Amino acid sequence: MAPTRVATRQRRGAAMSGRLATLRAERAASVDTLRRVGPDAPTLCGDWTAADVAAHLRLQDQGRGVPILLTAPLGLALLRAGVRLPSSFAARMEARHEEVLETPWDELCDRLATGPPAAVALPVFWALRLHENWIHHEDVRRADGSGPRPSDDVVGDALWAALAWYGAYQRKVLAGVDLVVRRSDAGGAERRLGDASGERVTVTGPPGEIALVVAGRARASHADIEGPDEAVARLTGPGVTM
Residue 220 has pLDDT above 50, yes or no: yes
pLDDT at res. 72: 41
User: What is the spatial distance between Cα 69 and Cα 30, in angstroms, rounded to a whole number?
Assistant: 22
Cα–Cα distances (Å) from 185 to 163, 166, 200, in that order, read 16, 20, 21
pLDDT at res. 118: 80
Alpha carbon 30 to chain centroid distance?
Answer: 13
pLDDT, one tens digit per residue, over 167-219 is 777 777 788 899 999 999 877 899 999 888 899 999 999 999 999 999 989 99
pLDDT, one tens digit per residue, over 2-23 is 666 665 666 666 777 888 899 9
pLDDT at res. 69: 45
| Mean pLDDT score across all residues of the chain | 84
Where are the extended beta strands (E) located within the chain?
A: 177-183, 190-194, 199-205, 224-226
pLDDT at res. 89: 56
pLDDT at res. 232: 92
pLDDT at res. 235: 84
Q: How confident is the model at residue 31 (pLDDT cuts 50, 70, 90)?
A: very high
Higher pLDDT residue, 146 or 64?
Answer: 146
Residue type for position 182: R
User: What is the spatial distance between Cα 170 and Cα 112, in angstroms, rounded to a whole number?
Assistant: 26
pLDDT, one tens digit per residue, over 126-181 is 888 899 999 999 999 999 999 999 989 999 999 999 998 877 777 777 888 999 99
pLDDT, one tens digit per residue, over 79-123 is 555 556 556 656 777 888 899 999 999 999 999 999 888 877 777
pLDDT at res. 24: 92
User: What is the spatial distance between Cα 72 and Cα 47, in angstroms, rounded to a whole number?
Assistant: 30
